[in-house]
Amino acid sequence: MSNAEPAPHEIACGGTGSVAAKPVADLIPARDVPLGRYTTVQRFLPHRDRRMAGAWCFLDRYGPQSVIALPGMRVPPHPHTGLQTVSWLLAGEILHRDSLGNTQPIVPGQLNLMTSGHGIAHSEESPREHPPTLHGLQLWIALPEEARHGPARFEHHGDLPVVTADRVRATVVVGELDGARSPAVVHSPLVGADVALDAGADTRLPLRPDFEYAVVMVAGRAGVAGDELGVESLLYLGTGRTELRLTAEAPARLFLLGGEPFAEKLVMWWNFVGRSHEDVAAARDDWAAGRRFGVVRGYDGDPLPAPPLPATRLKARGRAGD
Ligand code: MN
């Protein structure tokens, strides 16, 4: 997925200055961002009051929406650098193509993980024949310095570990939860897990006190650490927790994200994560000139042009609210 804002601002994030050094429960409301002609996404991260949770630096939820007799998702080829993209579907089907030559459909329960390293380009689209409903999450993980200049990579995982308890089923999408580890290659200690709760669920997920965590609902409502959470907000939980109580009166589903606070300071702009304005400006120049990112073949349409660079130049500062 691409950040489809027509004039995105540079965002400074990362650094430990914005990390809550204790358990907190901050509600972060989603905002609607148009994605092409047919889709609106709910953006949870980055937010003015909360840029990251661990290395997770971007979180969009799309749908559930009917795509009957509609094209569905149409995200033309676009570049990424300095991050991993996590594509996680709740309903529907998406076809990924990238500049390494991969063409990979995904359906719910499967993971597409793309590691940009220094640079990759990809497109995402609903196949011509697609299921009636589209619903999913797109997340980005910031790469640490030692991985961000490395080679690009793409992984598809159709078989992910599942942790179960009474009326609870947690799929470990990336990282590790309760002793179960996803086979996906990540570059910092983190977790991303899809947790399905049946009616009457009351459970405690083990957490790491050194991790920051956040929860976003994908369906229904749940009690999360004693707070009632619905689909309209993300709940940032801070650090210092050893467990997370989850309750549900009716069936509900949520995504838990967490990780070691990301100590490096970042500048994000459009689809790039760098360390400075010059980093993201160089990536923009390379995309405009047809360098670095390669070519995505097979997508029926032109690549996305980069939006104009903002006039305001940010330094990486790494504090929420800057
Ligand atoms: Mn993308």
What is the band of 317 on the pLDDT scale with cuts at 50, 70, 90?
low
Please name the residues in contact with 83: beta carbons below 8 A apart, sequence gap of 6 or more: 57, 58, 116, 140, 141, 142, 143, 273
Domain ranges of the chain: 11-259
Contacts made by residues 224-230, CB under 8 angstroms, sequence distance 24+: 224/254, 225/23, 225/25, 226/25, 227/25, 227/27, 229/27, 229/254
Between the CA of 41 and the centroid of ligand 1 the distance, in Å, is 14
Between the CA of 124 and the centroid of ligand 1 the distance, in Å, is 8
For residue 147, give the 3-state DSSP assignment. helix
Between the CA of 179 and the centroid of ligand 1 the distance, in Å, is 30
Q: Contact, 276 vs 316, CB < 8 A? A: yes
Average pLDDT over residues 194-205: 98
Q: Is the pLDDT of residue 169 over 70?
A: yes
Between the CA of 120 and the centroid of ligand 1 the distance, in Å, is 9
Between the CA of 59 and the centroid of ligand 1 the distance, in Å, is 12
Between the CA of 107 and the centroid of ligand 1 the distance, in Å, is 17
Average pLDDT over residues 107-115: 98
For residue 145, give the 3-state DSSP assignment. helix
Query: Out of 32-41, 127-136, 185-194, which region has the weakest mean confidence (pLDDT)?
Result: 32-41
Q: Longest C-alpha distance within the chain, in Å?
A: 56
| pLDDT tens digit sequence for 247-268 | 999 999 999 999 999 999 999 9
What is the band of 316 on the pLDDT scale with cuts at 50, 70, 90?
low
Between the CA of 243 and the centroid of ligand 1 the distance, in Å, is 33
Between the CA of 284 and the centroid of ligand 1 the distance, in Å, is 14
Between the CA of 240 and the centroid of ligand 1 the distance, in Å, is 32
Between the CA of 293 and the centroid of ligand 1 the distance, in Å, is 12
For residue 114, give the 3-state DSSP assignment. strand
- The pLDDT assigned to 6 comes to 75
Between the CA of 80 and the centroid of ligand 1 the distance, in Å, is 7
What is the DSSP secondary-structure string of 269-313? ETTEEESSHHHHHHHHHHHHTT-SS----S-SSPPPPPPPPPSSP
Between the CA of 298 and the centroid of ligand 1 the distance, in Å, is 16
Between the CA of 264 and the centroid of ligand 1 the distance, in Å, is 22
**Distance of alpha carbon 4 from alpha carbon 75, whole angstroms:** 9
Please name the residues in contact with 202: beta carbons below 8 A apart, sequence gap of 6 or more: 167, 245, 246, 247
Q: In terms of Cα–Cα distance, which of 189, 178, 233 is closest to 211?
A: 189
Distance of CA 11 to the CA centre of its chain: 16
**Distance of alpha carbon 316 from alpha carbon 136, whole angstroms:** 30
What is the band of 67 on the pLDDT scale with cuts at 50, 70, 90?
very high
Q: Is the pLDDT of residue 70 over 50?
A: yes
Average pLDDT score over the chain: 94
- Nearest 5°: the CA angle 14, 113, 301 is 100
Name which CATH class applies to 11-259. Answer: mainly beta
Between the CA of 140 and the centroid of ligand 1 the distance, in Å, is 9
Average pLDDT over residues 240-253: 98
Between the CA of 210 and the centroid of ligand 1 the distance, in Å, is 30
Between the CA of 45 and the centroid of ligand 1 the distance, in Å, is 15
Between the CA of 116 and the centroid of ligand 1 the distance, in Å, is 10
Q: Is the pLDDT of residue 230 over 60?
A: yes
**Distance of alpha carbon 107 from alpha carbon 120, whole angstroms:** 22
Between the CA of 224 and the centroid of ligand 1 the distance, in Å, is 30
Between the CA of 227 and the centroid of ligand 1 the distance, in Å, is 33
